[in-house]
Amino acid sequence: MNKIRVALIGVGDMGTGHAMGFDQIEQCEITWVADPSPSNLERALPYIKRNNPQIVSDYKDILAQTDTFDAVVISVPNYMHKEVALAFIERGKHIFLEKPVAPTLADCDAIIEAAKKANVILQIGLVYRYSNLYRRMEKELSNGRLDDVTMMWCKEFRDSFPPVDWFYDSAKSGGALVEKDCHHFDIFNWMIGAKPVRVFASGGQHVIKNGEENMITNSYTHYPPKVISQTNIVDHAWVTIDYENGSKANLGLCMYLKPRNLMDEGLEIGLIGNNGAVMVAKKDRTIDIAGGPDMTKEHIDTDVASDSYSNGHTGSQRQRYEFLDSVVTGKEPFANGEVGRQALLVALAAEKSIKEERYVYLNELV
């Protein structure tokens, strides 16, 4: 089988991870890397050990070289997603696009419609859908362990975004709930298995405040600490989602832990079923199931290595393999454009709810 030739567009934090991961896949050849930042390139390129890509600063320099790549991996700031994705879709290239699909619904829909028209693969970087742990959780649900999921929660208590200005500008990022929690809203949608109907959210700025000198540090970025004084995104929020089947989900977000979440549970995602059973995932590593008809307890330690690479994000390497498989077979990605759109809708409704201090029905947005 011929190798799938891939162009990497953007090698910041997420793009560097993709450079590392795709470089390890035998069925893949990285033929291009594009990023305008010399420091990003300097950091990322040493991780590409098995390939010898051509390097450019502007992705537009690749557009005329359509016979040298089959697919693109786009890891640019959110506000650039539409511009970059459409440029490659129009040339018939398959797209792996980092989440969220876009910071606005209009941009999201333009990308999805263009991909359908061009008959190209569009996979969104909703990496949890490719995680051993969350797939095991969904398997337990499919086997009836909780009967129907009636309640869910997520505690996303963490440090701030990387110290890069666009994260802190909602016009460019979509806001904190769009940029960060589209992941978790997608898990809610996936596990509950029903359409979200309305959202109520409350949030604001406790610590990272607009007009103040905020020294921003981040535990996983390669960007150095930086003072950011202009920010119009929330640094905390509570979000409640009502689903058409009566189920409810709640997410708590805090973006100012120092140096990061050091609690034993880390990221916590929980579910309650109408049979009285509870299932809780902690730190993207373990699952605990308790109660229900048999009144038992079970602890599950999941394989956290085979779905990632070099301690990368859970599910990160499997999503790359499955993207390449979709390119070869034409199979619809598990995290396709519509999945990304549904998660984005919840996030946009939450952002709107905070601003307008009211319930927001998702049908208002479409």
Query: What rounded mean pLDDT belongs to the chain?
Result: 97
- Cα distances from 93 to residues 8, 212, 327, 360, in angstroms, run 12, 44, 10, 36
Alpha helices in 158-304 (DSSP H): 170-173, 176-179, 182-192
pLDDT in tens, 137-170: 999 999 999 999 999 999 999 999 999 999 999 9
Is residue 235 a contact partner of residue 177, using CB atoms and an 8 Å limit? no
The per-residue pLDDT for range 3-62, each reduced to its tens digit, is 999 999 999 999 999 999 999 999 999 999 999 999 999 999 999 999 999 999 999 999
Tokens standing for residue 260: 């990061």
- Rounded average pLDDT over 93-109: 98
For the cut 80, the answer to whether the pLDDT of residue 1 exceeds it is no
Q: Which segments within the chain are labelled E, that is strand?
A: 4-9, 28-34, 54-56, 71-74, 94-97, 122-124, 149-157, 196-204, 214-216, 226-228, 236-243, 248-254, 268-273, 277-282, 286-291, 296-301, 360-361
Instruction: Report CA Rg, the chain.
Output: 20
| Residue of 260, 283, 219, 313 whose CA lies nearest to 20 | 313
The band of 310, judged by pLDDT with boundaries at 50, 70 and 90, is confident
User: Cα(253)–Cα(366) distance, rounded to whole angstroms?
Assistant: 25
Angle CA 351–355–358, to nearest 5: 90
Domain boundaries, the chain: 4-127, 128-306+336-364
- Residue count (the chain): 366
Confidence of residue 2 (pLDDT cuts 50, 70, 90): confident
Running DSSP on this structure, what letter comes out for residue 57? S
Q: Say if CB 201 and CB 177 are below 8 A apart.
A: yes
DSSP secondary structure string for all residues of 199-239: EEEEEE-SSS-TTS-EEE--SS-SSPPEEE----S-SEEEE
- CA–CA dist 280, 344 (Å, integer): 24
The amino acid at 164: V
- Token pair of 152, please? 């869910």
Region 278-283: mean pLDDT is: 98
Closest CA to 155 of 251, 260, 262: 251
Beta bridge partners of 242: 198, 248
What would the pLDDT profile of 115-140 be if each residue is shown by its tens digit? 999 999 999 999 999 999 999 999 99
Show the CA angle centred on residue 124, arms to residues 144 and 319, nearest 5°.
65
What is the DSSP secondary structure assignment for residue 175, as one 8-state letter?
Answer: -
State mean pLDDT over 327-356: 98
Residue-wise pLDDT for 55-91, tens only, equals 999 999 999 999 999 999 999 999 999 999 999 999 9
Q: What pTM was estimated for this model as a whole?
A: 0.97
Half-sphere exposure of 74 (CA within 13 A, CB side): 30
Q: Structurally, what CATH architecture does the domain formed by 128-306+336-364 represent?
A: 2-Layer Sandwich (3.30)
pLDDT the model gives residue 337: 98
Of 3.40.50.720, 3.90.1300.10, 3.40.50.1980, 3.65.10.10, the CATH number of 4-127 is: 3.40.50.720
